[in-house]
Amino acid sequence: MPRELADFNLDEERVAFRDTLRRFVEEALPMTAVRGVIDSGVAFERDVWTRACDELGLAGIAIDEADGGQGFGAKELAIALGELGRGLAPLPLLASAGLAARVVAAVLGRGKAGEWLGPVAAGEIATLAWLEAGGDWDPAATALEVEGQGAGVRLRGEKHFVLDAPQAERIFVVARAPGSHCDEGLGLFAVEREAAGLSIHAQEGLDPTRSLARVVFDGAPARPVGEAGAAGPGIRRGLEEASALLAAEMVGGFQQVLETAVAYAAERHQFSRPIGSFQAIKHKCADMLIGFEGARTASDAAIVAIDEDDPDRAELAMVAKAHVGPAYVRAAIENMQIHGGVGYTWEYDAHLYYRRAVSSGALLGDATFHQDALVRRIAARRASTTTGATPAQGGRR
């Protein structure tokens, strides 16, 4: 791209942080290394993760200082995720810091979760197991019930689509009190990697740079995180934050796709002219830019809303997740198209971004899911406004 896309909503310090991360990813996980990870079938290179944690403090960047982290905001974590997304870096940052840690912090309250988040901040890998075979994104659909009570509970059953499970030191599991329904009775439980009765079976992913696994509990011992049965709101909040963070990760990959497409369109010649001078191609690029501007604007608003504890944050997270996914998918498709035959080869990276776009677009709820949730929320908000109640509303409308 002849002109770097203007940095949007980043101050100087954050631009420097972003640049550091970009260099790290380019150096430690160039595409050849990513290909190596894909070919070897392991989820990611542990030593690169260790370096990311030791040198950059990545794992604990957005964890409160009181919980053992560095105390930066979701914004910094979003920047880091964006850079990993840009390079398709197979690292467990989303699973550990973006998903598990957010849910734990939301369930226990920030500053009160050091027992669990301290190790995460130090680089131990955690993940969240909430989805089940049916694949319903809504935590209310959780069927797994705990056995027993108090400190000595056990889990028996399965969780699916668990991110980065084979390398995780600890899995936080969403399960419910026996006989409970919907959000009521939802609890969060920690299962250690060495626990008896825990087995992990890698699943083949559409996106080979993101590790997915089926996790089987056969009476595995678990420890409750927070009050068992009352974790529903925290789990929801954590998932909502994770959706916004995943949107930010997607925006990083989106930018890479856009830049790649535009660079190729400017350089590849057919009929004695750059293909980017043909409108069919130029307009595809323009549409990518339009999609990208909406995507990064929506994702940034959702991230800022987390850090400002904006009452509008839930809706903004839905808007971001619903909007970014389809726009990224579209751009990834067009990027393959603009590359012609090369774009259809395994060897060329364009399909890896397409796979990432489709799979991330679905993960944590696809556009349909979030649109539906948004509409229900708006209806509830509007109904409460007309009956005179104060709407829980931020100013950004």
Residues that bind another protein (CB under 8 A): 1-3, 6, 8-9, 262, 265-266, 273-274, 276-279, 282-283, 285-287, 289-290, 293-294, 297-298, 301, 304, 315-316, 318-319, 322-323, 367-368, 370-372, 374-376, 378-379, 382-383, 386, 395-397
For 140, 186, 217, 338, the CA distances from 231, given in Å and listed in that order, are: 11, 5, 20, 47
Closer by beta carbon to another protein, 59 or else 316:
316
Q: Which is nearer to another protein, 203 or 277 (CB)?
A: 277
Side-chain half-sphere of 193: how many Cα atoms within 13 Å? 11
Q: CB under 8 Å to 50, separation ≥6 — which residues? A: 123
Residue 35 or 381: the one with the smaller Cβ distance to another protein is 381
CA–CA dist 222, 189 (Å, integer): 6
Tell me the closest approach of the beta carbon of residue 275 to another protein, in angstroms.
9
3-state secondary structure of 96: helix
Q: Classify strands 212-225 and 153-163 as parallel, antiparallel or unpaired.
A: antiparallel
Distance CA 364, CA 286 (A): 29
State the amino acid at position 130 in one-letter form: W
CB-nearer residue toward another protein: 3 or 309: 3
Smaller CB distance to another protein: residue 151 or 280? Answer: 280
Nearest distance from residue 378's CB to another protein, in Å? 5
CB of 332 to another protein, least distance (A): 17
Closer residue to another protein in complex, CB, 68/276: 276
Closest separation between CB of residue 318 and another protein, Å? 8
- Least gap, CB of 35 to another protein (angstroms): 29
| Rounded least distance, CB 198 to another protein, Å | 38
**Residue ranges of E strands in the chain:** 126-129, 146-147, 153-163, 170-176, 186-192, 198-203, 212-225, 269-270, 273-274
Smallest gap from Cβ 99 to another protein, in A, equals: 23
What distance in Å separates the CA atoms of residue 291 and residue 44, rounded to the nearest whole number?
30
- Judged by beta carbon, residue 55 or residue 372, the one nearer another protein is 372
Q: Is 222 helix (H, G, I), strand (E, B) or coil?
A: strand
